[in-house]
A and B are shown apart, each in its own frame.
Chain A
Amino acid sequence: MDGFVPGSALGSGLGYRPQFRADLFANRSKVDFLEIIADHYFDAPPEKLAELDLLAGHFPLVPHGLDLSIGSAEGLDPRYVDKFAALIERIDPPWWSEHLCFTRAGGVSIGHLAALPHTQEAVDMVARNVETLRKAIKAPLILENITAMVLVPGAEMDEPEFLARVLTETGCGWLCDAHNLYVNAVNHRVDLDANFERWPWERLVQIHYAGGRWRRNVLIDSHDRPTAEPVWALFERIVARAPVKGAILERDERLPPFGELLGEVERARAILKKCGRCL
């Protein structure tokens, strides 16, 4: 079975942040769907679950996890899987997403997303972990490409091939983070134009976009700036190429006035419409 996402496209949306809740509800019609940080609703007090139910009552929601560590060679944390399963049961999303990475090993919680080595062993491990997941969670899973500040030596393949193999062997869809693609290309001097067709566009379900910043000659995926023009150009090229079902502005920090966020969401919507997507 191809683990792809059935159903209609969702359109142009926002990563939900509690700071702009009031503005969000005042501008409901301008946001097609929300991506929520799943971990914020695990072991949540009643107030936080009330917020979740409020959001679910007004927007399609897609939960996005942070700490599943789907590439972990030690396997998945069953308690984390159970919490995610309970959340998905509660909100019944059209799909859910996590990162193609590992976040813990040997009893150490790294605290962020660490890149996997591009090896067949890593591909096989992700496939085993996804198989375990599917016993607990039936909703379609899509996997997000991350930035790789540290490249693990001994790669057997490059990033497009690694991602393509993972998605083929797991049957998962792809959450393409356009900014992460751009960051890796800039920092590791990869020609995105030359290898554009090697990415698994047939697996694309959703796009993330956001802005980053430079620190000591390294581009950081800080998600704390407006989306840069090269990323918008990449976004448009991706949307023209592949039938994406949803685009999310993933602005995490230094939130500007809400109107600026809506401006980016509207620009993404205009591109989707121009390319005949999410109609």
Chain B
Amino acid sequence: MPLKETQILLARLFTDADLRRAFAEDPVAIARRFGLNEKEAREFARVDQAALARFAQSLLSKRALDARKALPLTARVLGDEFERRFFEAVSGPPAPARYRADAAALARRLAALAEGEGAPAWIGDLARYELAFVAASHPGAVCLFRRFRYPVARIASTLLLGGTPDAAPRTSVGVWLRAPGTRLFYRFASR
């Protein structure tokens, strides 16, 4: 089987649930679509589809794990709910700069949660706060300004000290600055 076409087909099967479903129904046709000839497609069709599904699931779990590392306080607050929320937020193959893209998708999803949807009201702010540090972690110039509905820096400090935040809404702002080649500067203020 031609290596290039086989790798392209595998990469799509690993990351595209819709394609996997289509492949399960007619593997030879899907393989032909990706440039394999009839004989090669019949050979490729012998791939273990259960193993394909397991590998695909492991990739999603790995993305969730990477998102946990990018948003550790958010992950701690959500606990066992983190993966469910993550899988609700992301779909399709990983985007370029996937760590940031996946974490951003989750932060957007959490920010859109209605009050009482099984997570603290400030969870979206916390995710956006942590995401700002991710966005600032490169050597070039950084100038980020974020506005939050809650005193998110205090919430994060409380969590880091092992406490349980009990925060009322209070507008706060954060700024992240870096001149190229220098260390990151960040400050927060609330009303």
**Chain A interface residues toward B at CB < 8 A:** 43-49, 72-74, 102, 104-106, 108-112, 114, 117, 119, 121-122, 125, 149-154, 216, 218, 220, 253
Contacts and interface: CB of A to CB of B under 8 A. Distances in A.
Contacts of B6: 117, 152
A155 to B, nearest CB: 10
Contact of B7 (A47, A48, A105, A150): A105
Interface stretch (B81-89, B147-155, B176-184): B176-184
Interface string B30-68: 000000000010011111100110110011001101000
Given A73-B3, A150-B48, A153-B47, A218 B54 contact: yes
B165 interface: no
Interface of B: 1-4, 6-8, 10-12, 14-15, 40, 43-48, 51-52, 54-55, 58-59, 62-63, 65, 93-94, 96, 98, 136-139, 178, 181-184
A121 B3 contact: yes
B8 A106 contact: yes
8 contacts: A45-B139, A73-B4, A110-B15, A114-B55, A152-B10, A153-B44, A218-B54, A253-B65
B93 A151 contact: no
A125 B2 CA distance: 12
Contacts of A102: 7, 11
Given A45-B139, A74-B7, A149-B54, 11 more contacts: A45-B138, A106-B8, A111-B15, A114-B7, A114-B55, A117-B3, A119-B1, A121-B3, A150-B14, A152-B1, A253-B65
A82 B3 CA distance: 25
A73 B3 CA distance: 6
B3 A151 contact: no
Nearest to A102: B7
A173 B3 CA distance: 24
Contacts of A150: 10, 14, 47-48, 51-52, 55
B8 A105 contact: yes
Closest 8 CB pairs of A and B: A106-B8, A73-B4, A105-B7, A105-B11, A108-B11, A73-B3, A153-B46, A149-B55
B93 A108 contact: yes
Given A153-B43, A153-B46, A110 B184 contact: no
B44 A154 contact: yes
A258 to B, nearest CB: 19
A106 B7 contact: yes
A218 B182 CA distance: 47
A220 B55 CA distance: 10
Given A43-B139, A153-B43, A108 B1 contact: no
Given A109-B98, A153-B43, A72 B7 contact: yes
Contact of B14 (A110, A122, A218): A110
Interface centre among A49, A72, A105 (most CB of B within 10 A): A105
B86 to A, nearest CB: 14
Contact of B11 (A110, A117, A216, A220): A110
Nearest to B4: A73
A217 to B, nearest CB: 10
A110 to B, nearest CB: 5
A122 B54 contact: no
Nearest to A104: B11
A46 B15 CA distance: 34
Nearest to B55: A149
B94 A109 contact: yes
B181 A111 contact: no
Nearest to A106: B8
A47 B181 CA distance: 10
B98 A111 contact: yes
Nearest to B102: A111
B41 to A, nearest CB: 11
B96 A108 contact: no
